[in-house]
């Protein structure tokens, strides 16, 4: 047997041994039926504020043959809602399993400390068909109030413009004379940013409570994915926030019974508006707490009632009736 053949056989034996080891490791890990688990959960910011989205990021480990998938649901508080769609991405894999990254943007509508918040993620079927989802517990969230003054819109607009349109860094090429154009280009960019800032600042507009409410109602009407409970939670929050801003009544921090009693004893609203609010809040509470179902016609009637209520309570100076 010549030398070349010996070397070839040794190489082939080593390759076969390595392949056998990897095949054994792969088979061993593929046969594992360990449950999926959350390795770490973190927030994008330590101090989220009302109306400012913040991100919850969870790192999940699964066996090789399993994956994290939709649906992703949120629970724990009606004052915090999911903003946009959840993002699931494969991160890496090793001998222990696969690693996934789950990102969900949340939006708070009320300040305070929130505990016992959790996400529930779907999972592909395990070998015993038992674990179909995974609970992700969110760390305590401390939502602060949003501080706004008369100059805030312009200041925020200028800050945003400067952060988005930074002057690009141009590297100098020692073999050419392109550096001659750096100063004129930089001056032109700075001048453009200055002019853009002035134009943007002039267009800053304060959104009124009724415009905000009408936009929110249109968005709610267009959202066909909400179940009955989430629909009435959203609609109730829109009306309460509008009433609080429009009439300076503490609507968002009261129960339905407390709010109805306050409205009855106040002369700000007309009687027909009081009756409409009382009927709506009673229906919303039945859906949210008594798990009563609502048909599409009932939802549409509630949306129309809310739209009429907002339209009829716009101040006269803005083109509506008081």
Domain span at 76: 37-143
Q: 292 and 227 in one domain?
A: yes
Reference 216, options 317, 109, 77; nearest CA is 109
Please give the pLDDT value at position 29.
Answer: 66
Q: Does some domain include residue 30?
A: no
Q: Name the domain boundary from 202, 221, 243.
A: 202
- In degrees and rounded to multiples of 5, residue 119 shows phi and psi of -110, 145
Please count the residues of the chain.
322
Number of folded domains in the chain? 3
From residue 306, alpha-carbon distances to 28, 224, 232, 255 in Å are 60, 18, 11, 19
Q: 245 and 180 in one domain?
A: no
Enumerate residue ranges in the chain where pLDDT < 70: 1, 25, 28-32, 146-181, 197-206, 224, 290, 317-322
Q: Does some domain include residue 251?
A: yes
Q: 305 and 219 in one domain?
A: yes
Q: Does some domain include residue 13?
A: no
Q: 178 and 122 in one domain?
A: no
* CATH for 78: 2.60.40
The tens digit of pLDDT for each residue in 215-265 reads 888 888 888 677 888 888 888 889 888 888 887 777 777 787 787 787 777
113-140 burial, b at 16+ Cβ within 10 Å, e below that, comes to: ebeebebebebeebeeeebeebebebee
The secondary structure of residue 125, as a DSSP letter, is -
Please give the pLDDT value at position 102.
Answer: 92
Please give the pLDDT value at position 156.
Answer: 42
Please give the pLDDT value at position 172.
Answer: 45
Q: Does some domain include residue 10?
A: no
Q: Does some domain include residue 87?
A: yes
Please give the pLDDT value at position 276.
Answer: 82
Please give the pLDDT value at position 38.
Answer: 92
Q: 104 and 160 in one domain?
A: no
Q: 300 and 224 in one domain?
A: yes
pTM over 0.75: no
Please give the pLDDT value at position 256.
Answer: 78
Q: 313 and 213 in one domain?
A: yes
Please give the pLDDT value at position 167.
Answer: 43
Q: 90 and 62 in one domain?
A: yes
């Amino acid at each position: 047997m010549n030398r070349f053949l010996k070397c070839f056989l040794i190489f082939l034996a080593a390759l076969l041994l390595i392949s056998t080891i990897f095949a054994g490791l792969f088979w061993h890990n593929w046969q594992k039926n360990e449950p999926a688990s959350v390795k770490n959960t973190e927030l994008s910011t330590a101090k989220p504020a009302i109306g400012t989205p913040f991100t919850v990021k969870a790192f999940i480990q699964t066996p090789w043959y399993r994956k994290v998938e939709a649906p992703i649901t949120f629970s724990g508080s009606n004052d915090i809602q999911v903003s946009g769609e959840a993002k699931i991405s494969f991160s890496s894999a090793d001998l222990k399993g696969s690693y996934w990254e789950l990102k969900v943007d949340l939006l708070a509508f009320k300040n305070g400390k929130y505990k016992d918040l959790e996400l529930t993620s779907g999972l592909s079927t395990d070998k015993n068909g038992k674990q179909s989802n995974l609970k992700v517990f969110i760390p305590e969230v401390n939502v602060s109030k949003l501080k706004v003054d008369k100059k805030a819109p312009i200041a925020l607009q200028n800050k945003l413009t400067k952060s988005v349109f930074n002057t690009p860094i141009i590297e100098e090429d020692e073999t050419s004379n392109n550096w001659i154009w750096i100063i004129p280009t930089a001056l032109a960019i700075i001048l453009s940013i200055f002019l853009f800032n002035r134009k943007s600042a002039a267009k800053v507009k304060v959104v009124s409570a009724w415009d905000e409410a009408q936009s929110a109602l249109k968005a709610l009407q267009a959202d066909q994915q909400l179940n009955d409970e989430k629909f009435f939670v959203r609609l109730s929050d829109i009306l309460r926030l509008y009433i609080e801003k429009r009439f300076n009544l503490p609507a968002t921090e009261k129960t339905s019974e407390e709010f109805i009693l306050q409205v009855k004893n106040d002369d700000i609203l007309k009687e027909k508006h009081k009756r409409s609010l009382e009927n709506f809040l009673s229906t919303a509470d039945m859906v949210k707490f008594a798990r009563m179902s609502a048909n599409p016609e009932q939802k549409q009637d509630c949306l129309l009632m809310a739209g009429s209520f907002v339209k009829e309570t716009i101040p006269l100076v803005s083109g509506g009736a008081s």
